[in-house]
Amino acid sequence: MGTSGMTALSASVYAANPFRLAEEIEAVVANVESLHLDVMDGTFAPEYGLNARVIHSLSECAPVPLDVHLMVVHPRRPATRFAEMGVRSVAIHLETEDNFADLSRIVRSNGAKAYAALRHTTPLAALDPLLDHIDGCLLLTAPAGGGAFDEHAFERLSRRPDGLHTVVDGKIGPDHFERLQDLNVDVAVVGAALFFAGETRRRARIFAGMLDGKLGR
């Protein structure tokens, strides 16, 4: 499992109101550890995500680290491009056809961390031959691009490799925080539950308090 300690809160920018993006980000940054940036090609996942222009702008002004999650069929070019922008990490799905070890080398050589991302249905054994090439893993807890929280997610998390930095992403809300803490998950990505009309700032404060133990769950 991941190292023990608090589970950090990351805000999924994809879930923010695109017409008020700067305002939405400003509302959360004081209470989140990072911004999570989904890049989707409409093929690997059935939706389109954030584009390079938005991410580049954020890389120049965001006061918290940026983590890019590539849900694309061909990750080589975007993995290189985003690593060069200075993001903290790039998560690449093992289900793509590209050579993950080679992509990891490229990402790391540009100063970013390389995370192995897995769909909620991909066996965790896929991580085993890559442990020397990754800085952590991103495990989806819902189908890529949308869908309900996977009822097997917690059992799956309990079987991940010991000591591996772990990010969870997919329909996560405050009802899941206690279990994630118990499983020593390092980062919980929260989207729709956080970016809620007119309540984003308040929810960010409450969620952060729940995760650091200042508020009851």
Angstrom distance (rounded) from CA 92 to CA 38: 11
pLDDT at 215: 52
Strand ranges in the chain using DSSP code E only, listed in sequence order: 8-12, 34-40, 66-71, 89-93, 113-118, 136-140, 166-169, 187-190
Report residue 1's pLDDT band, with 50, 70 and 90 as the boundaries: low
**What mean pLDDT comes out for the span 8-33?**
97
Would 61 be classed as within a structural domain?
Answer: yes
Would 35 be classed as within a structural domain?
Answer: yes
Would 23 be classed as within a structural domain?
Answer: yes
pLDDT at 165: 98
Which CATH number goes with the domain that contains 195?
3.20.20.70
CA geometry: angle at 161 spanning 156 and 162, to 5°?
Answer: 120
Distances (CA, A) of 36 to 69, 98, 103, 159, 161: 7, 23, 20, 24, 23
User: What is the per-residue pLDDT across 147-179, written as a single tens digit (0 to 9) for each?
Assistant: 999 999 999 999 999 999 999 999 999 999 999
Q: Which of 211, 207, 215 is nearest to 27 (CA)?
A: 207
Mean pLDDT of the chain: 94
Would 51 be classed as within a structural domain?
Answer: yes
- Cβ–Cβ < 8 Å for 93, 44: yes
Would 3 be classed as within a structural domain?
Answer: no
pLDDT at 216: 43
Report residue 213's pLDDT band, with 50, 70 and 90 as the boundaries: confident
Would 1 be classed as within a structural domain?
Answer: no
**What mean pLDDT comes out for the span 199-206?**
97
* Number of independent structural domains in the chain: 1
What residue numbers bound the domain in which 120 lies? 8-211
User: What is the per-residue pLDDT across 78-117, written as a single tens digit (0 to 9) for each?
Assistant: 999 999 999 999 999 999 988 999 999 999 999 999 999 9
Collapsing DSSP to helix, strand or coil, 152 comes out as coil
pLDDT at 217: 38
- Cβ–Cβ < 8 Å for 170, 190: no
Would 177 be classed as within a structural domain?
Answer: yes
pLDDT at 4: 52
**What mean pLDDT comes out for the span 52-69?**
97
CA geometry: angle at 27 spanning 205 and 25, to 5°?
Answer: 125
